[in-house]
Structure 1
Amino acid sequence: MVSDVLPCYIVCDVSFSMTDHIDEVNAGMREFRGVVHADRRATAQIRLCVVVFAERPLVLQPLLPALDQAEPIRPRQEPGSDFGSAFTLLRGTIERDVRSLKAQRIRVRRPLLFFISDGRATDQSWPFALAALAATASCPEMIAFGLGAVDQPVLDRIGTSRVFLERDGVRLGIALASSVARTALRPQHV
């Protein structure tokens, strides 16, 4: 049996309101990969999936070893940030990935979801989609990272484990690396 795998889902709002922050997101992803590369145990343990969304979600990178290079995240010229469709896509994606890993006889840690946004949802039903995701057997630990002029109460509802804010001087790559390290140290499996 392969050692524990920590499935990590980076979910990034790429709507028009996030355009000025996408370079920081890509820099944070490179910084995170550098941290993972420096730790051989982490290199073997961490799998990464990248999901982007604006008016609709898209799996930019399926769940792969964290060092596999993903294409850069690009903004979309879409005004909407449909959080609900992103959470719905994630629910199915996470459940499918966990089943697939278990079928390969891989021990799976509780997934980690790292949600990057200004928190300005344009759909009203997103709390129901978030609740449906939280009700699954593979419910991820949810961390939010706010960029720009954030709606903090919304990010507080999403980041049930932790919320980081760029305005507090926190770099995205460090927040992601510390969240993964903290989660990886816990002896949990799904």
Structure 2
Amino acid sequence: MQILPFYMVCDESGSMSGPGVDAINDALPELHQEISTNPSVADKTRFALIGFSTQASVLQPLADLSELTELPSLSASGVTSFGSAFRLLRGTIEKDVEALKAEGHDVYRPVVFFLSDGIPTDDDWRSALGELHAEKFRYAPKIIAFGISDADAAIISEVANFKAFIQESDKVSPAVALREFASSLTRSIVNSATSMAAQGGEGFQLQVEDQVTGFSSLSLDKM
């Protein structure tokens, strides 16, 4: 089979407590329902959920969502260690892709939806990001980064290598922005799998929106 792996990497630091994690937790069942009940989408995609704060952890290992009854919930505490997220993500992607290939699947480059509401509290996060972005990393993912609340637009742009978005705080609340983030992720998975099926795996293009309600797109040009 041809498989497109998606990773949702969410900030679980203390600043996300209350409406932040509540909005994501409310949206996860909808994401699960939309994808798991569409066989042509579920067959071609795999989904994983990673949470990070002081440390990072794999909350949901990469899976076919049609084989799960529900997704785990996020909880908020601790500080914002970007580095722990990037290190765990790199190792997890490498293990997951190797496992899929060993099963005989053709695997597309992984896609990461990264979300944070703050500024990294660790000093070495850029070196961990560099290892994730590095050309020598055979499975370096495409990263779509979203920033809400106090997130720094320049840092969110630096994390991304495909697309980046920052909350329009004067137009929507963080809770509304988070729901739109989850909806955008769901649509991207569905539309990408549909495109893959239509093309028969030939000339496939990742389907990610250029505009997301409540967010402004950011330039990824590096100077």
1:113-153 Cα offsets, whole Å, 9 max, x none, are: 11111141001211111110112110111011222232111
- Indicate the residue corresponding to 1:98 in structure 2: 97
Closer, same or farther: CA 141–181 of 1 in aligned 2, 3 Å = farther
Identical aligned residues as a percent: 34
Structure 2 distance, partners of 1:143, 1:30, is 21
Deviates more, 1:25-34 or 1:163-172: 163-172
Using structure 2 for the length normalisation, give the TM-score: 0.75
User: Partner letter of residue 5 of structure 2?
Assistant: P
Aligned to 2:153: 152
Q: CA deviation at 1:103?
A: 0.3
* Structure 2 unaligned residues grouped into runs of 5+: 196-202, 206-223
1:10 partner letter? M
Secondary structure in 2 matching 1:149: coil
The correspondence of residues 82-161 of structure 1 with structure 2, limited to 5 A, is 82-135=81-134, 136-161=137-162
Is 1:187 the equivalent of 2:204?
yes
1:182, distance to aligned residue in structure 2 (A): 5.5
Instruction: Specify the code of the residue in structure 2 equivalent to 1:177.
Output: T
TM-score by length of 1: 0.87
State the distance in 1 between where 2:17 and 2:182 align: 18
Return the alpha-carbon distance in structure 1 between the equivalents of residues 160 and 93 of structure 2: 17
Structure 1: 5+ residue stretches without partners: none
Rate the CA distance shift 1:127–1:157 in 2: closer, same or farther, 3 A: same
1:90-120 deviation line (CA, Å, top 9, x unaligned): 1111000000000000111110111111141
Q: CA RMSD in A?
A: 1.9
Give the total of aligned pairs. Answer: 184
Following TM superposition, where does structure 1 have runs of at least 4 consecutive aligned residues deviating by more than 6 angstroms? none
Structure 2 counterpart of 1:178: 187
Q: 2:21 and 2:167 mapped to 1: Cα distance? A: 13
Structure with the bigger RCO (C-alpha within 8 Å, sep 6+) is 1
- Note closer, same or farther for the CA distance 1:58–1:94 as it changes in structure 2 (3 Å cut): same
- Based on CA coordinates, which of the two structures has the bigger radius of gyration? 2
Q: Is the CA contact (8 Å cut-off) linking 1:119 and 1:151 kept in structure 2? A: yes
Q: Give the 5 Å matches for 1:22-101.
A: 22-67=21-66, 68=68, 69-76=70-77, 78=78, 80-101=79-100
